[in-house]
């Protein structure tokens, strides 16, 4: 008797899924995500935090008092006013706006507000433990550090009065210490009204946003004359004065104000003759 065992035959088992391959792919993906996240959060963290379009900076500026910029007599030039949550940046001497600059959520930063941002924002000048503690507890930097500059507001006002409506720059230095006592750039603008006049400033052909004292390029003219005279005088090797001290300007020939019969190196340099003097 022949029995039919076709019903009892074992069917072939399905092939196992590639669980090992999927697990390896998952581990590689997680490792890649960890490397990328670590690179952005550690290596590039300072760059991301310093971006002017970082919304956290704008929020911090409203809740954390930013350090003040002071003149040499501790008189405020630029400071933060208002209660927590409504703090705003105010410049007390608007004519210094091209030099002091601004910190704005739309137009970014410029001037001293940009170059001294780490101190004004409290990320420099404060103890490291304090910085870490405020970040861990509040997610914000500590209160900013006040910065005292070498500017003198009285001299600054005199410099701005001299420039008035003219276009140019004026810098007053302490010759002994090298301190900058006054720095003016005209035309100027009011950084307190940046949100209102920002677009007009960008399109203004007179470039009021430009700090002409530090960003402008000017010929030295006779400014180096006293230094060259002092150097040559120390060597007792002053060259002879040119016979003709004149210069051309817009198709015109102009004479130096120094009188020919009283012409010496001192009077020539004091007259500011903008001619090429021999070395």
**Residue 236 and residue 169 share a domain:** no
* Domain assignment present for 14: no
* Domain assignment present for 122: yes
Q: Among residues 197, 215, 233, which one ends one of the domains?
A: 215
In the chain, the N- to C-terminal Cα span, in Å, equals 130
Closest by alpha carbon to 99, among 163, 30, 28, 176? 163
**Residue 148 and residue 68 share a domain:** yes
Task: State the pTM of this model.
Answer: 0.66
**Residue 185 and residue 246 share a domain:** no
Closest by alpha carbon to 191, among 211, 205, 172? 211
pLDDT of 182 reads: 96
pLDDT of 69 reads: 96
**Residue 260 and residue 163 share a domain:** no
Residue range 43-88, pLDDT digits in tens: 776 666 666 667 788 888 899 999 999 999 999 999 999 998 899 9
- 8-35 average pLDDT score: 73
Q: Among residues 194, 215, 236, which one ends one of the domains?
A: 215
**Residue 71 and residue 163 share a domain:** yes
pLDDT of 101 reads: 93
* Domain assignment present for 46: no
* Domain assignment present for 114: yes
**Residue 258 and residue 171 share a domain:** no
**Residue 161 and residue 80 share a domain:** yes
Main-chain phi, psi angles of 5, to 5 degrees: -100, 15
**Residue 203 and residue 128 share a domain:** yes
Strand duo 180-186 + 246-249: pairing: unpaired
**Residue 189 and residue 93 share a domain:** yes
**Residue 232 and residue 205 share a domain:** no
pLDDT of 116 reads: 94
What is the total residue count of the chain?
279
Residue range 259-272, pLDDT digits in tens: 666 667 667 666 66
Secondary structure, 3-state, the chain: CCCCCHHHCCCCCCCCCCHHHHHHHHHHHHHHHHHHHHHHHHHCHHHHHHCCCCHHHHHHHHHCCCCCEECCCCCEEEEEECCCCCCEEEECCHHHHHHHCEEECCCEEEHHHHHCHHHHCCCCCCCHHHHHHHHHHHCCCCCCCCEECCCCHHHHHHHHHHHCCCCEEEEEECCCCCCEEEEEEECCCCHHHHHHHHHHHHHCCCCCCCCHHHHCCCCCCCCCHHHHHHHHHHCCCCCCCCCCCEEEECCEEEECCCCHHHCCHHHHHHCCCCCCCCC
- CATH code assigned at 191: 3.90.1310.10
pLDDT of 59 reads: 85
* Domain assignment present for 11: no
* Structural domain containing residue 195: 55-215
Token digits for 50? 């310093």
**Residue 204 and residue 67 share a domain:** yes
Domain count, the chain: 2
* Domain assignment present for 71: yes
Residue with tokens 């003016």: 184
* Domain assignment present for 28: no
**Residue 125 and residue 233 share a domain:** no
pLDDT of 29 reads: 86
Residue range 192-245, pLDDT digits in tens: 999 899 899 989 999 999 999 998 877 666 666 666 666 665 555 666 666 666
**How far apart (Å, rounded) are the C-alpha atoms in residues 63 and 95?**
27
* Domain assignment present for 43: no
């Amino acid at each position: 008797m022949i029995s039919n065992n076709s019903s009892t035959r074992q069917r072939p088992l399905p092939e196992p899924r590639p669980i090992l391959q999927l697990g390896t792919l998952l581990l590689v993906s997680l490792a890649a995500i960890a490397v990328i996240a670590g690179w952005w959060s550690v290596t590039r963290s300072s760059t991301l935090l310093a971006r002017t379009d970082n919304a956290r900076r704008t929020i911090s500026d409203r809740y954390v008092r930013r350090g003040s910029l002071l003149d040499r007599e501790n008189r405020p030039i630029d400071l933060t006013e208002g209660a927590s949550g409504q703090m705003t940046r105010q410049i007390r001497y608007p004519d210094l706006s091209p030099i002091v600059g601004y910190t704005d959520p739309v137009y970014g930063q410029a001037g001293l507000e940009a170059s001294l941002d780490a101190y004004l924002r409290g990320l420099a000048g404060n103890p490291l433990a304090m910085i870490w503690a405020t970040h861990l507890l509040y997610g914000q930097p500590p209160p900013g550090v006040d910065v005292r500059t070498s500017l003198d507001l009285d001299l600054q006002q005199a410099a701005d009065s001299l420039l008035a409506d003219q276009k140019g720059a004026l810098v007053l230095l302490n010759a002994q210490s090298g301190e900058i006592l006054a720095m003016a750039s005209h035309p100027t603008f009011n950084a307190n009204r940046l949100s209102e006049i920002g677009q007009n400033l960008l399109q203004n052909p007179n470039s009021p946003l430009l700090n002409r004292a530090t960003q402008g390029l000017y010929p030295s003219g006779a400014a180096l004359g006293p230094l060259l005279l002092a150097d040559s005088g120390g060597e007792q090797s002053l060259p002879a004065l040119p016979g003709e001290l004149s210069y051309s300007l817009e198709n015109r020939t102009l004479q130096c104000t120094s009188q020919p019969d009283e012409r010496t190196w001192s009077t020539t340099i004091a007259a500011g003759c903008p001619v090429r003097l021999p070395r």
